[in-house]
Structure 1
Amino acid sequence: MQYYEDIEIGASRDFGSRTFTEAEIIAFARQFDPQPFHVDPEAARKTAFGGLIASGWHTAAVVMRLLVDSAIDLEAGLGSPGFDDLAWLKPVRPGDTIRGRMTCIDKTPSRSRPGIGSARFMVEAINQKDELVMRFTSIGIMRFRNPAQT
């Protein structure tokens, strides 16, 4: 379990992986992002992408699931007020496996709420070729293990 005190600025950690299938890419896109290069393999071949690609929102949703499953502490974590600088850097294609990595870039104890602090993390999705496919900066709010130390 990681509390605020356990987070070190500069520390990185991998947090799981997932392989994208053509069926999942199409199903997600049909519901949430029905652009031709996400839902129609034939039409996708005629685009600048040269084939079917996952919606960036699908990639972000998968990264969020990986975070919840293996990196967000449900006892110490108190949610997030948001994120910044979302960038989709390379397309994710059927058969690609992405892994998540997070690096703490800053942390600050709350001035108004004793026992609580926030940390900013660079969150990255990296494919099986070690290429960065997505990144964003996330803010996590978390409890102190020992609130009296704040």
Structure 2
Amino acid sequence: MRGLFSTLIVVLLALVIVTTEAGKNKKEKNKGGNGGADCAEWRYGNCVANNGDCGPGMREGTCNENTKKLKCKVPCNWKKEFGADCKYKFGSWGECDAATSTKSRTGTLQKALFNVDCQPTISVSKPCTTKVKNKPKGKKNKGKGN
């Protein structure tokens, strides 16, 4: 019985030592993988999708000589022209240009996420709609005997 008890003590002591060493290694990895936590001005590139034009991807950050990669996501319904990291406030759509059959509007930069370089103003256009607005819809006739 005494032999089993001493074996159990040795196994527990070994487990504590291995766990402590693993914790030290993890802390060292975090220091190295932090990529210069003391750096104040990180600059990040655009999010680049892993497959195709949208979905999960990676963005690269640089500061002085340090670089790191972050996971990100490119929305599938986003305008590729100005990126998902530049947030703009848009005005109203302009009148339809008969020559090009498009209408346009401009947006001013409100926020640049991840210190991405964004254009201060942008202009976007879309085809004019040819639909004629119908009369306002009233209550539908849901009675019996129709």
Q: Pick the structure with greater CA Rg.
A: 2
Normalized against structure 2, the TM-score is what?
0.28
Normalized against structure 1, the TM-score is what?
0.28
Quick one: higher RCO (CA 8 Å, sep 6+), 1 or 2? 1
